[in-house]
Chain A
C-alpha cells in the first residue's frame, strides 16, 4: 500500500478544492466580538420582535455560563470568540423579502459557479433553493409555486417576521438554547437560515434545498434551520455547503430542528463540503453543528442522510427523538476524512414511544493523517415497549497513518427492546488494489470503486442528483489524497 501511496501522493501534491474561490462583494460587517450590544444590533438589523431578542439574550446569558465541551476525541484548538465577526452581509442586499433577479451580479455569478443558478430562467427544476451567503439569505427560488399548495419556504428571518406564531411555537422545542455550548451560542447570534412549513396532508411538490456559502473572512456562520412537517405531510430537504480556501480557520455553528407531526415524514440530506484546510492542516472550517429531529406524532418518520467530506474539524450528531408511537428515525452517514481532517460524528436515537424503530448506518473512511470517529447513542426509555434499533458502523482505512474509532453507547431501560449493533474495520489492501489494477482499472478508479462499494448503502438513500454529486465528491477527495 505504502508503495502506491507515496508515489501517488507525489503525483498529486497540488491541492484541489474547486469551490475555494472568493467573491469580491462589498460587505457590511458588525465589529468583531460578542456582547449584548452585538446581539441587540443583529436583532435590530433584522427588525425582530421583542420576544426574539429576549430569546437571544437569554441564550447568551446561558452561553456565558457554559464551558467549551471537552469530551471530543481529539484536541480542539482554543477559539477566541471575541476575535470573530458575528454578522456579515453583502452591502447592497436588503434584509427581508427580495427578488433574486435583482441581486448583485457578483453574487449571482458566485452561485452559478457553485452550480446553483438563481435567476428565474436558469433555475433547476424540481428543486426550490434558499441561498444563504454569510449571514443572510439572499432569497428563495420557486417560492410562489410552493405558496400555492401552502408550503412555506423562506429565510428564518422572514419567517420570524411573517409567521411568528409558528416560529415561537417550535423554535427551541427540539434543540433548546441550553442544549450545549454551540447551541447556546447559535441561539444568541444566529443570523439566517431556512424555514420550512409543510401543511397538513401536503406532499411537498418539489425538493427543498438550502445552499450555505461562507465568503467573508473571520466570520462565523450561525445559521438556523427549522422544518415543521404537519400531520400527514412529506418533504425531501437537501443541504449543501462550501467555503473559500483560506489559511485561517472559520467557525460554523448551526442548528437544524425538525418537527414531524402525526404521519408526517421528513428526509433531510446533506452534502457537506466546507473547505477542509490544506494537506498540512492549515485553514478550514470548524463545523460544530446541532441537528435534531423530533418525531412528535404517531407514525412519523425522520431520516438524516449525510455525506461529510469537508471541514477541518467536524463535530455533529444528527439525532432523532422518537416520541410518537410507531415513529421511525434513521441516520445514514458517509464521513470521509483526508489530509489532517478530524471528524467526530454520529447520531443519537432516543426511543420514547412504543414500537419505535431506528436504523443507523455509518461508513467512515479515513485517509492520509486524518482521524475519523463514529460516536453514537441508542437510548431506550422505560416506556418504549418493543423499541427496535439496528446499527451498523463500518470504517475503512486508506494508508496507515490515519485512524478510525467507534464509540457506540447503548442504554436500554425497557426489557422488550431489541438493539443490534454491528461494526467492522477494513483496510483497502494492496492485494485488492493490485487485483483491480491487473484488470486494467487504474489505481485511482480502483480506490473509488472500492470506496463507492463501501458507501453504497448510504448513497442509495440520497436523492439521485445528490447521490451522483456525492460519488463525484468522494472520488475527487480521494484523488487529491491517495491518487
Chain B
C-alpha cells in the first residue's frame, strides 16, 4: 500500500474541515475526489502535503517509505516531497526573481540528494527539462521566466504538470488542476498526467467536475461532504454525479 489515512480530523484556525477521513491507496491507482465547494477536498490534499496552516487534531496519515507504511505527520513539507509526494496547486503562487529552471533544478537536486542519486548541473538539467516540454506544448522560454510570474491560468497549470513529470512522484495530488482550463489546455494537461500513470505512480485527482475524468480514467471516485467520504464508487459514480448533482447524496441542496 502507498497511502493509508486513518480517521483524519484537521482544522484551520478554529474551523474543523476534515471530520474523519479514511482512505487507502495502492501503487498504480488513480483516485478522484469529488464534492461540492467547501467539502474539504483542497484541505485534504494540503494536509497530506503538510501545509502549516492546517492542524491535524486526530487520526494519522501513513505513507510507504522504504517498503513500509510509516506516519508522516511529523515530516516537513519538503521531507514529504522528497519521499515522492507531489502537490499540484489549484492556484500556483508567483515567486518573482527566481527563474523556473533554477527552482526546478533545486527541487530536482533536493530529491536526488535525498534518494542518494546524482544531482544534475544546470546544463544537463535543462536538457532533461527540454525533453519533457513537447508533451505539454510548452516552449523553452518558460524555463527562463520567474516562477509563475505573469503566467496565464493555463500556463500555470501546465507548469505544475511539468514539475510533476520532472519529479516523478509516487503520489501526485492534483488539486483542481482542471479549473480555469479551456478544452485544449485540459487535454494537454490530461496527457501530461497520463504520462505519469504507471504501476508505481498513484494519482489523486481533486476535482469539482467530471470533465477531467473523461481524459484521465479513475479507478475510484470518492465523494467528500463535510469533511468525510460519504460515498465511494468507480468511474460511473462520477457520471452519475454529473447527471444528478450532489443533492441525492448529501440530502440537502448544495452547489
Q: Using CB atoms and an 8 Å cutoff, list the residues of chain A in contact with chain B.
A: 3-4, 426, 429-432, 434-443, 445-446, 449-450, 452-456
Contacts and interface: CB of A to CB of B under 8 A. Distances in A.
B76 A439 contact: no
Nearest to A439: B107
A241 to B, nearest CB: 27
B114 A450 contact: no
A454 B96 contact: yes
B110 interface: yes
A80 B95 CA distance: 47
A268 B163 CA distance: 41
A439 B114 CA distance: 12
Contact of A441 (B49, B106, B146): B106
A429 B81 contact: no
Contact of A449 (B77, B81, B98): B98
Given A4-B52, A437-B77, A440-B78, A445 B95 contact: no
Contacts of A454: 96-97
A432 B149 CA distance: 12
Contacts of A435: 89, 92-93, 95
List 5 tightest A-B contacts by C-beta distance, closest first. A453-B97, A439-B107, A440-B81, A453-B98, A437-B77
Nearest to B163: A439
B103 A438 contact: no
Given A440-B82, A441-B106, A441-B110, A434 B98 contact: no
B81 A439 contact: yes
B87 interface: yes
Nearest to A4: B52
B102 interface: yes
A440 B111 CA distance: 6
B33 interface: no
A365 to B, nearest CB: 12
A266 B82 CA distance: 47
Contacts of B102: 449, 453
B93 A432 contact: yes
A395 to B, nearest CB: 13
30 contacts: A3-B53, A429-B93, A430-B53, A431-B93, A432-B93, A432-B95, A436-B95, A436-B107, A437-B50, A438-B49, A438-B77, A438-B86, A438-B87, A439-B81, A439-B103, A439-B104, A439-B110, A440-B78, A440-B81, A440-B82, A441-B106, A441-B110, A442-B76, A442-B110, A443-B78, A452-B97, A453-B95, A453-B97, A454-B96, A455-B97
Contact of A426 (B78, B96, B111): B96
B51 interface: yes
Contacts of A443: 76, 78
A445 B51 contact: no
B49 A449 contact: no
A452 B107 CA distance: 16
Interface string B227-245: 0000000000000000000
B87 A449 contact: no
Given A434-B52, A435-B89, A449-B103, A440 B114 contact: yes
A440 B97 contact: no
Contacts, number: 86
B87 A450 contact: no
Contacts of B204: none
Interface in B71-126: 76-78, 80-82, 86-87, 89, 92-93, 95-99, 102-104, 106-107, 110-111, 114
B216 interface: no
| Of B81, B92, B114, most A-chain CB atoms within 10 Å | B81
Contacts of B110: 439-442, 445
Nearest to B89: A435
B44 interface: no
B167 interface: yes
A330 B53 CA distance: 43
Contact of B51 (A434, A442, A456): A434
A111 to B, nearest CB: 33
B167 A440 contact: yes
A449 B106 contact: yes
Contacts of B81: 437-441
Given A429-B93, A439-B86, 18 more contacts: A426-B96, A436-B95, A437-B77, A438-B78, A438-B89, A439-B104, A439-B110, A440-B107, A440-B114, A440-B167, A449-B103, A450-B95, A450-B97, A452-B97, A453-B97, A453-B99, A453-B146, A454-B97
Contact of A437 (B78, B97, B99, B163): B78
Nearest to B106: A441
Nearest to B148: A435
B16 to A, nearest CB: 18
Interface string B138-154: 00000000100000000
Contacts of B76: 437, 442-443
A431 B87 CA distance: 13
A298 to B, nearest CB: 37
A471 B67 CA distance: 39
Contacts of B52: 3-4, 430, 434
Contacts of A437: 50, 76-78, 81
Contacts of A450: 95, 97-98
Nearest to A457: B97
B113 to A, nearest CB: 9
| Of A429, A436, A438, most B-chain CB atoms within 10 Å | A438
A436 B50 CA distance: 12
Contacts of A440: 78, 81-82, 107, 110-111, 114, 167
A439 B107 CA distance: 6
B167 to A, nearest CB: 7
B156 to A, nearest CB: 11
Contacts of B86: 438-439
Contact of A453 (B87, B92, B96): B96
A446 B104 CA distance: 12
Contacts of B104: 439
B103 to A, nearest CB: 7
Contacts of B97: 450, 452-456
Contacts of A452: 97-98
B100 to A, nearest CB: 11
B78 to A, nearest CB: 4
A443 B96 CA distance: 17
| Of B51, B80, B96, B163, most A-chain CB atoms within 10 Å | B96
A439 B86 CA distance: 7
